[in-house]
């Protein structure tokens, strides 16, 4: 029997698979949180999830609305102060992966969550960086998950909130005490990874039933494809079941039905 799944489900399952049991993951709210908790509930039950509010080894039954959601503290092994979270855990080199989302991303994996348009007269003001700039600087590596569209995948972000590899791909070159930066970008269409030399994002895997043309149409620059382009494995029945149950519990809880 052929399993049916949405592009969003494909994205979350693929992003979840990027995490492993031995990782300590600093989790962003939204799509990263969905993927990280799906990993914890499926193939990586020992993954350590931490959130910006100071919760360590968090195991929420529902997805939090924000870092201040009580579910995070209630389900955590312990909660530390925010200064300790950043100074000891993050800056101390104890975070293996930062898992982030974004409003805009460009060819060098720079992220914008500050504003759209001109800095002095923006069209839209966004929530800001939060802890993302520090996460991208100090985590050993960064995973990014975001929906794929020309509004999001732009030639150059309007404002660099969180540095990927800078405007020229060289921002991390010869900089001591800094992480590797973004190592994978997972969207609802494909998987992208930075070119080892130029650091420009390159499509390495297309999701099932997604064409090159669809990715080209959804990207704001002349996107490159790997020579050995792969097809991303489809979600399993178990992964889909766990994800759907998680989202159903979350929806019911936030609607006051649980």
Q: What is the CATH number of the domain that holds 184?
A: 3.40.1080.10
**Phi (first) and psi of residue 125, to 5 degrees:** -100, 130
Residue 154 lies in a domain: yes
Q: Answer whether residue 20 is part of any domain.
A: yes
In a domain, 69, yes or no: yes
Question: What is the C-alpha to C-alpha distance for residues 177 and 179, in angstroms, rounded to an integer?
Answer: 7
Give yes or no for a contact between 28 and 134, defined as CB atoms under 8 angstroms apart.
no
The runs of H, that is alpha helices, within the chain are 7-17, 31-41, 70-74, 82-84, 132-138, 212-217, 237-254
Please give the tally of structural domains in the chain. Answer: 1
| C-alpha to C-alpha distance for 102 and 7, rounded to whole angstroms | 18
In a domain, 2, yes or no: no
Range of the domain at 97: 7-254
Q: What residues are annotated to the active site? A: 52
Give the span between the Cα atoms of 180 and 191, in whole angstroms. 18
* Cα 84 to Cα 62: distance, rounded to the nearest angstrom: 26
Cα separation values, 213 from 155, 207, 218, 238, 244, Å:
18, 13, 9, 31, 30
pLDDT in tens, the chain (258 residues): 678 999 999 999 999 999 999 999 999 999 999 999 999 999 999 999 999 999 999 999 999 999 888 889 999 999 999 999 999 999 999 999 999 999 999 999 999 999 999 999 999 999 999 999 999 999 999 999 999 999 999 999 999 999 999 999 999 999 988 999 999 999 999 999 999 999 999 999 999 999 999 999 999 999 999 999 999 999 999 999 999 999 999 999 988 876
In a domain, 53, yes or no: yes
Classify residue 1: in a domain, yes or no. Answer: no
CA dihedral 100, 35, 207, 237 (to 10 degrees): 180
Domain presence at residue 77:
yes
Q: Give domain status of residue 78, yes or no.
A: yes
Q: Structure pTM?
A: 0.95
Per DSSP, 210 falls in state -
């Amino acid at each position: 029997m052929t399993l049916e799944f949405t592009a969003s489900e494909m994205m979350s399952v693929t992003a979840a698979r990027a995490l492993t049991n031995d990782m300590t993951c600093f989790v962003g709210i939204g799509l990263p949180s969905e993927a990280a908790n799906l990993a914890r509930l499926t193939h990586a039950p020992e993954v350590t999830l931490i959130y910006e509010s100071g919760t360590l080894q968090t195991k929420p039954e529902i997805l939090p609305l924000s870092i201040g959601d009580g579910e995070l503290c209630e389900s955590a092994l312990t909660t530390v102060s925010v200064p300790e979270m950043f100074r000891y855990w993050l800056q101390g080199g104890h975070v293996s992966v930062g898992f982030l989302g974004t409003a805009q991303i460009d060819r060098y994996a720079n992220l914008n969550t500050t504003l759209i348009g001109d800095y002095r007269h923006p069209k839209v003001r966004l929530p800001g960086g939060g802890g993302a700039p520090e996460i991208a600087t100090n985590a050993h590596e960064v995973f990014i998950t975001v929906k794929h569209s020309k509004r999001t995948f732009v030639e150059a972000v309007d404002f660099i909130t969180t540095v990927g590899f800078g405007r020229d791909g060289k921002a991390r070159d010869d900089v001591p005490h800094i992480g590797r930066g973004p190592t994978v970008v997972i969207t609802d269409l494909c998987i992208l990874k930075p070119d080892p030399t130029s650091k420009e994002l390159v499509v390495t895997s297309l999701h099932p039933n997604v064409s090159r043309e669809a990715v080209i149409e959804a990207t704001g620059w002349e996107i490159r494809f790997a020579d050995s382009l792969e097809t991303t494995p489809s979600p399993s029945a178990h992964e889909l079941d766990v994800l759907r149950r998680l989202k159903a519990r979350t929806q019911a809880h936030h609607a006051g039905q649980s």
